[in-house]
Structure formats: structure tokens, C-alpha cells
Amino acid sequence: MVTVKVPATSANLGPGFDTLGLALALYDELQVSVRDEPGATVEVIGVGAGEVPTDESNLVVRAIAHTFEAVGHPLPGLELVARNNIPHGRGMGSSGAAIVSGIMAAKGLLDGIVEFDAQRLLALANDMEGHPDNVAPALFGGLTIAWVTPEGPRFKKLIVHRGVSPLVLVPEHVMSTALARSLQPQSVPHEDAVFNVSRSALLVAALIQSPELLHAATEDKLHQSYRASAMPETDRLITLLRENGFAAVVSGAGPSILVLCSDPSQRLAAAELVAQKSETRWQPLMLAVDFKGATVTATAERQSDTPAA
């Protein structure tokens, strides 16, 4: 048996479209046992119970199968217990976490047989997710910069300044990542591209060194305005928060809102403002930054607690 723990993530962070991602201290946990019978069964506890598949079509099982196939090993029979806390369809990296859970479970099951370095783990996850901005922080924790080369995806992990206090405001409604991406134009004005390059560079500095710059650093002209029509309440509240000095952005593809505060008291004020002014219910999640990333622990004959990197 192996046990896997994977953090939620928020991608883009405003200007860092498909590049920047942040790991958050909210976790999905997975137990995987090998059995004699072929196939796989999944018990889902918490988020997604009664909604997600519980057979071989489950995304976690598919990620395990993808990893075994990639290294040329036959897939054994599996029993999975998934304890999910990451909201689905809310822009907090639930699909990336499921993929990383499966890959890390396979890593644990193949411990001592196949070696997986950080680049191999990221490549396997990117194969399934299609872009590395969510799976990189889920695997490695902290703030990650991810990019793609002809040789595959790459990442750099950075440690976030201790003053940064994330707040995620989660609505009851969901948003399709595919729909959000379909609203993106194929090209953008040159001045908008330059604007985002400057803000992305500033955002890295703000997150690791100068949190007082977070408001200016989270401005964006590449994706949020194009997606606003699909989530008008998200757009309205982000505008309200930013007008009041809060560094608010769309979390991933939305519709959740990420507020990057420079101290814990600031996020209390942001949550109170939304509670007063929102037309629908938004759940405030006051989360720490996760610095460890995904872990896998063997609970059978040998014990190990191995972070992805």
C-alpha cells in the first residue's frame, strides 16, 4: 500500500498565464493497494463522491496506468481510496492534483524498480494535463515557474516570502477549463504582451521578496478580461477588491478568486468585503503556501516519505 498527499494549486496568478503556479495547503489524499484481481476500484470520500468515476476511467487510475505504461511495466490490480478536499471545477487544480496523485502512487508502487527524477515526474504529468502550470506546484510545492522546451517541460521552484497570505474565495458554481480557454484570442496587442511581461517579472519579485508590490504585480491584460463574460460575478468582485487595494485575480481558470495578501489581517478584510458585497455565497479559504509538494509514503514492508523534489 502507498499513501499520497497532493496540494491544491492556483495557476496564472494574474499576469503569469500558463507559467506561474502556487501550491496551497489544502490536500487530496490517496491510498492505493495492490490486489490479485485485475482492474481497479475507487472509493471516493469527500469532494466528488457520487460524481466521479469509480472504475478504470477515474483520472487517478488513468494517471497510474499512464505511468506504468511509460516505464514498460504491466499494471497490477488496484484498490484506491481517495479522500478529496480540493473543490472540483473551481480553478484550484483538482484535475492536476488527481493526475499528480496517480503518478506519485505509481512512483511509490515502483519504488526500488524504477527511478523517477523531478523532470520525469513533470513530463508524465504534463503529458496528461497538457500544460505544466498546475502540475508543477502540485508536484514540487512553493511558487513554480514552468515552461516547455523541445525536450519537454521544465520548472524552477522558488520559496515564497513568509509575509504572503493567500485567500481563496470559492463560489458554489463551477467553471469549465475548456470553456475558459476557448474564450482566449489567438493573438493579443503588442502593448498588452509587453504589459504582462513586466507584471510577470514584478510578480516573481513581489512573491519572493517584496509583498508590498503584489497589487501592481497582479495586473493582467492577457486572459482575465476575455474570460469575464463567462463569470461576471467573479469579474465584478475582482474589480471591487482591486479598487479597495487588494491583489485579487482569477484562480486558474476560475471561477474562484485568489487574493494575495501581504499579511493575515488583510485577507480577513478582503473576505469581509466580499461577504458584504457579493450576490452569491463565497467560501473563504485562508490557506498557507505549501512548500513541500506531493509526497508518497509506503505503508507495506518498507517505510519512506519522499517528496517529489
Domain boundaries defined on the chain:
2-159+290-307, 165-286
Q: pLDDT tens for residues 204-260?
A: 999 999 999 999 999 998 888 888 888 999 999 999 999 999 999 999 989 999 999
Known binder of ligand: residue 76? Answer: no
Residue 197 has pLDDT above 70, yes or no: yes
- φ and ψ at 271, to 5 degrees? -65, -40
Please state the rounded mean pLDDT for residues 7-21: 96
Known binder of ligand: residue 92? Answer: yes
Known binder of ligand: residue 97? Answer: yes
Return contacts of 44-47, CB within 8 angstroms, 24+ apart. 44/82, 44/84, 45/81, 45/82, 45/83, 45/84, 46/83, 46/84, 46/85, 47/84, 47/85, 47/86, 47/87, 47/88, 47/94
Known binder of ligand: residue 104? Answer: no
Please state the rounded mean pLDDT for residues 95-103: 98
Q: What is the pLDDT of residue 302?
A: 41
Q: What is the pLDDT of residue 279?
A: 85
Known binder of ligand: residue 90? Answer: yes
Residue 66 has pLDDT above 60, yes or no: yes
- Those residues whose C-beta lies under 8 Å from the C-beta of residue 214, and which sit 6 or more positions away, are 164, 203, 206, 207, 247, 260, 261, 262
The answer to which of 182-186, 251-255, 278-282 has the lowest mean pLDDT is 182-186
Known binder of ligand: residue 173? Answer: no
- CATH number, domain 2-159+290-307: 3.30.230.10
Known binder of ligand: residue 88? Answer: yes
Q: Reply yes or no: is the peptide bond before residue 171 cis, omega within 30 of 0.
A: no
Return contacts of 269-276, CB within 8 angstroms, 24+ apart. 270/167, 270/241, 270/246, 271/167, 271/169, 273/240, 273/241, 273/244, 273/246, 274/169, 274/237, 274/240, 274/241
Helices (H), the chain: 59-70, 94-109, 118-129, 135-140, 177-182, 190-208, 214-217, 224-227, 232-243, 264-277
Q: What is the pLDDT of residue 303?
A: 42
Residue 23 has pLDDT above 50, yes or no: yes
Residue 170 has pLDDT above 60, yes or no: yes
CA 266/CA 269 separation, integer angstroms: 5
According to DSSP, residue 296 is labeled E
Mean pLDDT of the chain: 93
Known binder of ligand: residue 50? Answer: no
Asked, colleague to colleague, whether 2-159+290-307 and 165-286 share their fold, the answer is no
Residue 309 has pLDDT above 60, yes or no: no
Known binder of ligand: residue 265? Answer: no
Q: Which of 70, 222, 67 is nearest to 59 (CA)?
A: 67
Q: What is the pLDDT of residue 306?
A: 59
Known binder of ligand: residue 91? Answer: yes
Known binder of ligand: residue 248? Answer: no
Whole-model pTM above 0.85? yes
CATH class of 165-286: alpha beta
Q: pLDDT tens for residues 284-308?
A: 999 999 999 999 999 854 444 556 7
